Chain A
Amino acid sequence: MGCIKRLLPGSMFNLLTCLLLAFEALAEGAVLTGTDEEAQLPFWEWRDEVMSVRLVQRLPDQTRAFFTARGFDKSQAELIAQSCIFQTVYKNIATTSNPAVIEYDLTQWKVIYKGEARSLKIKEVWREEWEKAKVPQPAQIAFFWAILPTQQRYEPQDYNWGMTSYNLPPGAKFDLEMVWRQDGVYRTGFVRNLECAPDEEIDPKIPLS
């Protein structure tokens, strides 16, 4: 750093210091936000050099349509649609030359809403409800596999897409505390100010994934 300082005027040195600090923060995990190119909906993404978790809003209308098409009745599809669903892409982005193993358990994650910590609504909890309601088997199977696995272990380049549900009303804002193990060591990351999609009707002319 000293040699760089001698080469650069003071303001440039300060700029370089800022940039280095920014990269250090990225190594600890950065949160990116924007519009998901494919879904054309807002996303929040936690990322470091080993793991990325992208949460993309799902509109309640999308969720209603998806589950109605797979055998859920209107009230059941409505219940899912009103539960704050995010499409979640969870990846191990470590390289094979510098590998790392990621393990997570969604029951350890916390949803912080209005100052209170709650749990995600995991697929096993949903399954109990669907069994009680005698939801047709094909619909239950589609639901079970469409939801992000509750536990998973990812080696480099492994990933899943799946829905996560937060049991919050449309438009609710919350923070998410994520817990995982990287090569056996527990780590924690936060995504703040996530926002459940509002319940608005979709223009039928706009194609949705």
Chain B
Amino acid sequence: MRDLSLFIACLMLLMPVPAVYADKSQPLHSVTGTPIAPDFSLQDTEGKRHALQDYRGKVVIVNFWATWCPPCRYELPSMERAYQRLKDAGVEMLAINVGEDADTIFTFTADYPVTFPLLMDRDSKVINDYPVMGLPTTYVIDNKGRLVYRAIGTREWDDAALVQKILDLKK
């Protein structure tokens, strides 16, 4: 029996912990060279126009998404929670929908209510100006207008360490 216990103990020590379960971090990766973010001017779903240059001097989170994209849907609730924590610190969040119209987005927001602006890149010109290969992709722009962080795929945007990393850009 003692041998069996030792055997099980040895086995447990030898078992690798799958990385997917071990790492709950929500990393934002640095953008090489921190290029200036391409400017844009897009209407939101309520008809208001937003130009990136209007946000100069602020930290801005720019998320590219679509209603039919499952991972985009997954992260919207945590983006809203993060926005509620970040907006009072002067951090802006702009979610740029790719290719869809206001009616489609409006219907979608019945299930995924958010309070940050949902901009419409109907002809996909803006996403093509950014180094984006797939949806969702999110960039964090610092108060000098530079692309500093990037996330491909979803993140838990209200993760404390992630929020702090964004707030640190204001220093």
A93-B20, A95-B19 known; A157+B123 contact, CB < 8 A: no
With A95-B23, A149-B133, A149-B134 as contacts: A16 and B7 at CB distance below 8 Å? yes
The stretch among A76-84, A158-166, A181-189, A197-205 that forms the contact with chain B is: A158-166
Give the chain A neighbours of B6 by CB distance below 8 A: 7
Chain A proximity mask over B11-41: 1 for CB below 8 Å, otherwise 0: 1001110111011011101000000000000
Contact pattern, A 1-36, Cβ under 8 Å of B = 1, otherwise 0: 000100111001000100110010011000000000
| Docked-complex contact B27 and A145, CB < 8 angstroms | no
Determine whether B42 belongs to the interface, using a CB cutoff of 8 Å to chain A.
Answer: no
For B23, the chain A residues whose CB sits under 8 A away are 93-97, 156-157
Which of A19, A142, A152 is packed against the most chain B CB atoms within 10 Å? A142
| Number of A interface residues in the complex (CB < 8 A) | 44
| B117 contacts A by Cβ under 8 Å | no
Q: Whole-angstrom distance from the CB of B17 to the nearest CB of chain A?
A: 10
Asked if residues B29 and A158 are in contact (CB atoms below 8 Å), the reply is yes
Asked if B93 CB lies within 8 Å of chain A CBs, one says no
Contacts of A154 in B (CB 8 A): 152
For residue B50, CB closer than 8 A to chain A, the reply is no
In chain A between 50 and 78, which residues have their CB closer than 8 angstroms to a CB of chain B?
50, 52, 66, 70
CB distance from A29 to the nearest CB of B (A): 13
A12 to chain B, nearest CB (A): 6
CB distance from A80 to the nearest CB of B (A): 14
CB-CB under 8 A for A141 and B134, given A52-B20, A209-B70? no
The reply to whether A91 and B153 form a contact with Cβ atoms under 8 Å apart is: yes
Q: Is the interface of B mostly helix, strand, loop or mixed?
A: loop
Asked whether B99 is an interface residue with its Cβ less than 8 Å from the other chain, the reply is yes
Interchain Cβ contacts within 8 Å, total number = 110
A94–B19 CA distance with the chains assembled, in angstroms: 6
A152 to B18, CA, bound (A): 24
Contact A70 B68, CB 8 Å, known A52-B20, A149-B134: yes
At the interface, yes or no: A49 with Cβ under 8 Å from chain B? yes
Q: Complex formed: what's the CA distance from A44 to B70 in Å?
A: 19
8 Å CB interface, A139-192 against B: 141-142, 144-146, 148-149, 151-152, 154-162
Which residue of chain A has its CB nearest to the CB of B10? A4
B103 interface hit (Cβ, 8 Å): no
> Closest B-chain residue to A89, C-beta based?
B71
The residues of B with any CB-CB pair to A shorter than 8 Å are 3, 6-7, 10-11, 14-16, 18-20, 22-23, 25-27, 29, 66, 68-71, 98-101, 122-124, 127, 133-135, 151-155
When A and B form their complex, which 10 residue pairs have the shortest distance between CB atoms, in order from nearest?
Answer: A141-B99, A149-B133, A159-B153, A160-B134, A95-B23, A158-B152, A155-B29, A149-B134, A96-B25, A93-B20
A interface, CB within 8 angstroms of B: 4, 7-9, 12, 16, 19-20, 23, 26-27, 49-50, 52, 66, 70, 91, 93-98, 137-138, 141-142, 144-146, 148-149, 151-152, 154-162, 209
Between-chain CB contacts (< 8 Å), 26 pairs: A7-B7, A8-B7, A16-B7, A19-B11, A20-B14, A23-B14, A26-B16, A49-B16, A96-B27, A97-B23, A141-B124, A145-B69, A145-B99, A145-B134, A146-B68, A148-B134, A155-B27, A155-B29, A155-B152, A156-B25, A157-B27, A157-B153, A158-B29, A160-B71, A160-B152, A161-B134
